[in-house]
Amino acid sequence: MTDTTLEDLKIDAHIAVLHTKVDSLVEKQKELTQRVRANEKVVAGITLLGTVFLAIIGAGYFAPKVDASFITTPEIVEQYDFC
């Protein structure tokens, strides 16, 4: 027979329990890492949309105002008179 004592068996059981806990924590860490990456993608997408939205708003705000009225002058009529 081997010379394993009750104390050795307790230590082996404790090591086995700790090994199981470590394995469980490693799996949990992998799951949390995947969730963080997914959240980072969502945040990056929302940030991109916000940036594009603000760029469009900013471009519209700082764009020069256009006068849509068209007043004909004799010079303009002469330039576009093809007859």
Name the band, by pLDDT with cuts 50, 70 and 90, for residue 81: low
**66, 67, 73, 76 alpha-carbon torsion, rounded to 10°:** 30
In degrees to the nearest 10, what's the CA dihedral of 48, 52, 54, 55? 130
Give the dihedral sign, CA 51/55/56/60: positive
Looking at the 3D structure of the chain, how many domains does it have?
1
Please indicate, yes or no, if residue 55 is contained in any of the structural domains.
yes
Q: What is the mean pLDDT of the chain?
A: 86
The dihedrals phi and psi of 31, each to the nearest 5 degrees, come to -65, -45
Q: Tell me the mean pLDDT in the region 50-74.
A: 79
Mean pLDDT, residues 13-33 taken together: 97
Does residue 1 fall inside a structural domain? Answer: no
Which structural domain range is residue 76 located in?
6-80
Residue 75 scores a pLDDT above 80: no
> Does pLDDT of 1 surpass 50?
no
pTM of the predicted protein model: 0.55
pLDDT band at 48 (very low <50, low <70, confident <90, very high): very high
Residue at 33: amino acid letter? T
